[in-house]
Structure formats: structure tokens, C-alpha cells
Amino acid sequence: MPRKSSPVNIDPRVKRTRRLLRDALVLLILKKDFASITIKEVTERAEVAYITFYRHYESLDQLLMEVLDEGLVELMTHIEALARQSDPSSLETEGRLIFEYIEQKADLFRILLKSQSVTRIRKKVVSNISTIFQKSCVPLERLGNQVTINMASNHIATSLLSLIEWWLENNMKPSPIEMGKVYKSLIIDSTVGAVSSLSAVAK
């Protein structure tokens, strides 16, 4: 395990070393699959001594988890704050802000979505996003059909992640503003419309 230090009192040199190692790993994963990367490659790119790596991490898996967890915590906090907005007119803004955030963290999400070695992380992201959207899916379950809260929130989470993946593969075009409109129409409005249609058929 990495050595534990108080977040307040952590040595700036330790923070700098960990940042160099994380940045080096990100750059390498953008060029090749994570499974083929070695600790030596990471330390050489970071210009850090090989033995220094083991003062902070036990393995590259642990370093990767730290890289992803750091970004995922920010994403979850970001989406959770946006999901608290109940005004339907804010949904385009919610979508725009999500994609603006993805734009800022593009390298992180390219890693998350491109490497088969981090499938477990992708599942974790879907699960976390799904949990965040569960509260807003409560009205859908009340419409009286077979669509449960878990089913609807999982659909939204996987759809959002797929849309993010498509956007990154297309060089982040169209703009976050346009993606906000797509998010509202393709994911939120379509989900609500589909559930409403099922309710009408059930009646």
C-alpha cells in the first residue's frame, strides 16, 4: 500500500513524485495498452528512480487505481451536484456542464474507456452514476409498469458513458453546449418517453 500521510501535512516532495508517476502513466496508456506497460517505463518517463516507485505503490495496478479514483471522485461529485437540480429546464445546462468537465479531463476518460484492462473500473463508474440518478428516477417507477428505479438509473448511466465514449472518439465534437442538448433529448427525454409509453400500454 502507498505510505499514508495526513492530507494537510503531506510532504510536497511526496505529492510531486506521485503526480509525476500518475502523469507518466497517463501518457503511456494513451500510446499503448496498460497490460504492456512496465514500472521501468513509468519511472523513466517520470524521471523518477525505479526504487522510488515502491516507496509509494506496490504495483502499477495500484497507481492506475489512484489515477482513476482521483478523477472519478471529481466526476461523481460533479454529476451528483447537477443531479440535485429538479427543474427540467436545467437539463441542457446539466448536460453541458458534464461534457465541459469531460473535456477538461479528456485524457483520464480516454484511459477509462479504451483499456480492456480496466473493465472493472468502468463497471464501478456505471454503478456510481446509476446510484446518483436513482432519486430522479423515482417518478418513473410511479408510472406503474415493469421499469424499476434500478433499471432506469442503470440505463441512464450506461447511456451517458456510451455517449461520452462516442464524443471522445469524435474529437469532442460537437461542442459541450450541443452535447447538453443531445444529453437531454437522447438520454433523459427518451428514457422518460419510453417509460411513459410502457405505462400507457399497460393501462
Q: In whole angstroms, what is the distance from residue 41 CA to residue 28 CA?
A: 8
Neighbouring residues of 37: CB distance < 8 A, sequence distance ≥ 6: 25, 28, 29, 60
* Averaged confidence pLDDT in the chain: 82
Phi, then psi, of 85 in degrees rounded to 5: -75, 125
DSSP symbols for 114-179: H-GGGHHHHHHHHHHHHHHHTGGGHHHHTT-SS--HHHHHHHHHHHHHHHHHHHHHTTT-S-HHHH
Whether 177 shows a pLDDT value over 90: the answer reads yes
Q: What is residue 24's predicted lDDT score, i.e. its pLDDT?
A: 94
Side-chain half-sphere CA neighbours of 168 within 13 A: 22
Whether 11 shows a pLDDT value over 70: the answer reads yes
Q: What is residue 178's predicted lDDT score, i.e. its pLDDT?
A: 96
pTM for this structure? 0.71
Q: What is residue 130's predicted lDDT score, i.e. its pLDDT?
A: 87
Q: Judge contact between 160 and 129, C-beta under 8 A.
A: yes
Secondary structure (3-state) at 48: coil
| Residue of higher predicted confidence among 88 and 65 | 65
166 band by pLDDT with thresholds 50, 70 and 90: very high
Q: Judge contact between 183 and 99, C-beta under 8 A.
A: yes
Give the residue among 26, 114, 35 at the shortest CA–CA distance from 71.
26
Q: What is residue 2's predicted lDDT score, i.e. its pLDDT?
A: 40
Neighbouring residues of 161: CB distance < 8 A, sequence distance ≥ 6: 113, 122, 125, 126, 129
Point out the least confidently predicted range of 32-41, 73-82, 102-111: 73-82
88 band by pLDDT with thresholds 50, 70 and 90: low
Whether 176 shows a pLDDT value over 80: the answer reads yes
Domains assigned to the chain: 12-58 (1.10.10.60), 62-202 (1.10.357)
6 band by pLDDT with thresholds 50, 70 and 90: very low
Most confident of 9-13, 81-85, 112-116, 170-174: 170-174
